[in-house]
Amino acid sequence: MPLTIVPSEVPMFTLTFKKMSNAVIFSLFLMVFSPLSYAENMKKFGDLEVHYIGLSTSILQPEIAKAYGLERSRYRGFVNISILDTSQPGKPAITAGLSGTATNLVGQQMGLEFQQVKEGSAIYYLASVKYPNDETYTFNITINNNGQEYLLTFKQKFYVEQ
């Protein structure tokens, strides 16, 4: 005989879908903005470990997007960059100067304006990108660390959410 579970009789099932959805999105947000996240891409430049990821702003909760000055839209994405110093114990996050461009496949280029975000010992840099359709961008980002410059280059495809 199959087991029947009545949600109101089992406390574990009393969470609503919305609460679970918010918990999942908040967990994703923490993963994305954690400099220790292993889900993101990473490149090494000497003693620097540069973590980067690009995502649609539509995945962010409105409160989170507002707090970071990001416009939520199906046609906007953002890049998140975190720089760690591997020569120091615990690989602390460091401040650096970032500038760069995003170029689509037909050669249209847009400048990136990075904002630095500090949360406790975490430091990361955010920049938004606009796209009218599904779009692949090549990012060329110059990282200036105490006069030493490094060029971070990566490709990211953004999708228009339906």
In a domain, 2, yes or no: no
- Residue-number span of the structural domain to which 48 is assigned: 7-158
Residue 6's φ and ψ, nearest 5 degrees, are -100, 115
pLDDT digits (tens, 9 = 90+) for 29-54: 544 444 444 445 999 999 999 999 99
CATH number of the structural domain spanning residue 56 = 2.60.40.3340
135, 125 Cβ separation under 8 angstroms:
no
In a domain, 1, yes or no: no
In a domain, 45, yes or no: yes
Pair of tokens at residue 159 = 């999708």
In a domain, 110, yes or no: yes
pLDDT > 70: percent of the chain: 75
For the entire predicted model, the pTM comes to 0.73
Of the candidates 60, 71, 68, 49, the residue with the CA atom closest to the CA atom of residue 22:
60
pLDDT digits (tens, 9 = 90+) for 52-81: 999 999 999 999 999 999 999 999 999 999
Overall domain count for the chain: 1
Q: What is the distance in angstroms between the CA of the first residue and the CA of the last residue of the chain?
A: 42
In a domain, 134, yes or no: yes
